[in-house]
Amino acid sequence: MTEWIMRQLPALVILVPFTAAPLAYLLGTKFGRPIALVSALLSQPLAVLLAMRVSREGALRYEVGGWGGPLGIDLVVDGVAAVMVLVTTVVGLFVTVYALGYFGDRERYRFFWPLWLFLWGSLLALFLSGDIFNLYVCLELVSMSAVALVGLTLRREALVAAMRYMLAAILGSLFYLLGVALIYGAFGSVDMQTLREVIRVDTTGQAALALMTVGLVLKTALFPLHFWLPPAHSNAPSPVSAVLSALVIKGSFYILVRLWVDVAQPAAFPGVSTVLGVLGATAIVWGSIQALRQERLKMLVAYSTVAQIGYLFLMFPLVTGGGPAAADAWMGGVFHAASHALAKSAMFLAAGTVLARFGHDRIEGLGGLSRRAPATAMTFGLAGVTMMGLPPSGGFVAKWQMIRASIESGQWWWAVVVVAGGLLAAAYVFKVVGPFFGREPEALDEADLDPGPSPWTMEGAALALALGSLVLGVLGQPLLDLIMVSAPALVTGVTP
């Protein structure tokens, strides 16, 4: 039995949410809630076992159908994939627990459970796929469930945001698909391992990579293609906002990284790496300034995501040159994706608790929150530590690695951006946290409407994620080691 589980691990990880999803749809709200919880709990040991197996044995290859690439489709689990699966599974558990309290057993939200389980399974399938066409199908699954979840409340603003999000997401997917078609036409394969050997940077290869990059950048909401993100992420129900900012945007980013660093060699395109890095730096500054200007909590958190996406893209110019800088940049980028996932989901869940309890999320009306909802105020503060990148948080480890990579590669200017971004983050975090721990507003209409504490599951789930982002900083080394397991040749300097 144990042997069977170990052998089937990559498939089992995906099958759990994908089995739960249709059952949750078929059986409705009453059963959907326990089904989602069971699926979330079952996923935990599987993700941990997968990570343990990868750190012990190196990258795993699972040949779906027994054919093997390029004829069949392979699931590939290297260190980065294992880390992303772990992060998705942990964030998924706490979002599920939170959603149980947030949606309750209200019949009008019955579609949340199947949609969320489908989204969960699709993200895992995406992180494990080793086939560029299969990745397209995964992207479609992720976008489709995410769009429906954004519009779940049927509120006017939410529907408008969902529509805009859908148009951007579909356009991005189609650009990606065009690139896949060109690659298959020119190089005769969609299997990443095969492509690594045969891909050429000729006219067709360039066009394909350009199309795929534009599509994926649009889906990741990198400045200036971030226009759809703030309305979609802030108008979605809060458990959905958390998943969108923590995990969904990282799905398309993950494909982009695999494509450039793993399949095509970015050394052939120093210009592209620089452009992505400059856009990332601009995103950090622009997103932070916009976050500072917001008056609603969820909008502030959404613009903070626009800024934090920027750090992910600093990875490209730092990895391109190879050497020790590439390894540090690789660890820093992936670690940032992980710690941001925990901290940002904690922030959105905390914002959702505030919104659900007081019926609004205007920052000026939330003074003195620490006395009325201490756990929620603390969640926001702790998650803020990671956003700012202060020790001992996960955000600190990530930024430290990036700064090291900048100095090692002689590109000190990226280090300046990282530090400046931390200061800007401090400004918008304190804009919120300061009043939380300050005086309550004078004319306090909201207090009269305060229906009392939120369910402990909601506050507890958000706090657990915020604490998780701190624990990452203290216990970061095992995770950094895992990220480097079977990393791409460019990063390790070793040709496999």
Partner 1 sequence: MGKVTPKSPLPIRIAALAICAGVGALLSRAVLAIPETESGLAPLVDANLEASGVKNAVTAVLLNFRGYDTLLEIAVLMLATIGVLSLSVTQKGTWDPIAAQADPVLSALARFLAPVMILVSGYLLWAGEHAPGGAFQAGSVVGAAGVLLALSGYARPAWISRFALRAAISVGFIVFIAVAIGEMIAGGLLLQYPADLAKTLMLLVETWLTVSIGAILVSLFIASASPAEELRMRSGGEG
Answer yes or no whether residue 270 interacts with partner 1 by CB under 8 A. no
Q: Is 203 in the site for partner 1 (CB under 8 A)?
A: yes
Only one of the segments 22-30, 81-89, 299-307, 471-479 lies at the binding site for partner 1 (rule: CB under 8 A); that segment is: 22-30
Do the Cβ atoms of 145 and 139 come closer than 8 Å? no
Q: By the 8 A CB rule, do 373 and 455 touch?
A: no
- Single-letter amino acid, residue 291: A
Q: Determine if 38 is a binding residue for partner 1 (CB under 8 A).
A: no
User: Residue 135's Cα: distance from chain center in Å?
Assistant: 16
Going 151 to 376 to 88 to 320, the CA torsion angle's sign is positive
Q: Any contact of residue 77 with partner 1 (CB under 8 A)?
A: no
Backbone φ, ψ for residue 294 (5° rounding): -80, 150
Find the distance separating the first CA and the last CA of the chain, reported in whole Å.
32
Beta bridge partners of 73: 64
**Touching partner 1, residues 212-251 (CB under 8 A):** none
CA torsion through residues 65, 66, 72, 77, sign = positive
The only residue of 52, 184, 274, 471 in contact with partner 1, by rule CB under 8 A:
184
Specify the stretch interacting with partner 1 by CB under 8 A; choose among 36-44, 141-149, 321-329, 370-378.
141-149
Q: What angle do CA 490, 416, 273 make, to 5 degrees?
A: 35
Does 369 participate in binding partner 1 (rule CB under 8 A)? no
Residues in binding contact with partner 1, number by CB under 8 A: 59
> Does residue 178 bind partner 1 (CB under 8 A)?
yes
Total residues found in the chain within this entry: 496
Among 57, 105, 157, 202, binds partner 1 (CB under 8 A): 202
Output 100 or 141, the one with its CB closest to partner 1.
Answer: 141
170 binds partner 1 (CB under 8 A): no
Q: Is 423 a residue that touches partner 1 (CB under 8 A)?
A: no
Selection from 143, 121, 151, 293 nearest residue 221 by Cα: 143
Report the residue from 80, 138, 217, 284 that binds partner 1 according to the rule CB under 8 A. 138
Q: Is 188 near partner 1 (CB under 8 A)?
A: yes
Residue 145 within binding range of partner 1, rule CB under 8 A? yes
Tell me which of 207, 275, 278, 285 binds partner 1, using CB under 8 A. Answer: 207
CB 487 within 8 A of CB 322: no
Rank residues 115 and 405 by Cβ distance to partner 1 and give the closer one.
115
**51 touches 82 (CB < 8 A):** yes
Q: Would you give the DSSP letter of residue 266?
A: G
Phi, psi of 131 (to 5 degrees): -140, 125
Residues 6 or more apart in contact with residue 460 via CB below 8 angstroms: 97, 375
Kindly state whether residue 67 participates in binding partner 1, applying the rule CB under 8 A.
Answer: yes
To partner 1, the closest distance from the beta carbon of 185 in angstroms equals: 5
Summarize as ranges the residues that interact with partner 1 (CB under 8 A).
8, 11, 15, 18-19, 21-23, 25-26, 62-67, 70-73, 108, 111, 114-115, 118, 121-122, 125, 133-134, 137-138, 140-141, 144-145, 147-148, 151-152, 154, 159, 162, 178, 182, 184-189, 202-204, 206-208, 210-211
